[in-house]
Amino acid sequence: MQLIFVLFNFVLITESSNVSRLVGSSVNLDIKHRVPKFDHLSWVFNKTNSVLKYYTHSKKIIQSSAYEDRVEFNNETYSLTLKNLQKTDSGEYEAEADGDEVIVAVNYRLFVLDPVEAPDLNHQLSNDTCNITLTCRSHDLSINSSCYKETCEEKNVASPGGVTLSLSVSGSTIICNHSNSVSWANITLDTGNILVGLGCVCLLQIFTFQYKLCYLPVVNSGEYPSTSI
């Protein structure tokens, strides 16, 4: 999204994007369009906190001590890289170019998130009806569902913070998946041949549990692909 406002000698050209990253990872904040000639450019956190300032003529970079050893700046593209991200780095980042006009070149809203924990998947089997009652649970979300023979009810719930819990079925595998915008973890229950024959013989002993904890990689970084919202 690009918004352009002109007011006297103040020009606001804002590319606004939301980005999410894992704690401990890095993020590259780019300026994708050409920036008009300026004397100095500042990257600012939450409107008032300076991350660094770059002076065009001297090529001098003044960096905030709060970001020591965690910031890289490209003096050709004016992009900012933040490393070893912490949850306190979550917030708004702007690049402001000051010359004949004051330009807010780009705006990012950064969300730094912990990886999700693996959920729990519990089951109860009714021997007389062959119904399976399932409970898929994470720290603050829960799903109750049931299966009869080979048919299971799929469900999902989400928190206001964008954390999702889902219960789904793939073949004979029941999947309880816990995810946020940067990571996911699941636990699966393989029913195998739990219901056998026309008499619906329930064989609880051949239930097997498999546990998986993983992140969808981007260049093996363990993150979901970065998208702008």
Give pLDDT tens digits for 126-148: 766 678 889 999 988 999 998 87
Residues 21 and 49 in one domain: yes
pLDDT at 38: 87
Inside any domain, residue 219: no
| 185 has a pLDDT exceeding 50 | yes
**pLDDT of 71-115, one tens digit each?**
999 999 999 999 999 999 999 999 999 887 778 889 999 999 999
Q: Does 221 map to a domain?
A: no
Identify the CATH number of the domain in which residue 25 sits: 2.60.40.10
What is the percent of the chain where pLDDT is above 90? 50
Is residue 207's pLDDT more than 50?
no
Parallel/antiparallel/unpaired status of strands 102-113 and 10-22: parallel
Give bridge partners of residue 214 from the DSSP assignment: 184
Q: Assess whether 7 and 107 both reside in one domain.
A: yes
Which residues, 6 or more positions from 126, have their beta carbon under 8 angstroms from its beta carbon?
132, 133, 202
For residues 7 and 98, membership in a common domain is answered with yes
pLDDT tens digits, one per residue of 51-67? 999 999 999 999 999 99
Question: Which of 113, 137, 169 is the C-terminal boundary of a domain?
Answer: 113
pLDDT score at 34: 84
| Domain-terminating residue out of 95, 113, 131 | 113
Question: Which structural domain, as residue segments, surrounds residue 151?
Answer: 120-214
Does the pTM exceed 0.75? no
182 and 139 part of one domain: yes
- Is 6 a residue whose pLDDT tops 80? no
Q: Is residue 225 part of a domain?
A: no
Report pLDDT for 1. Answer: 46
Among 81, 113, 145, identify where a domain stops: 113
Domain count, the chain: 2
> Which residues contact residue 41 at a Cβ distance below 8 angstroms, ignoring those fewer than 6 apart?
35, 53, 54, 56, 78, 95, 96, 97, 98, 105
Residues 166 and 197 reside in one and the same domain: yes
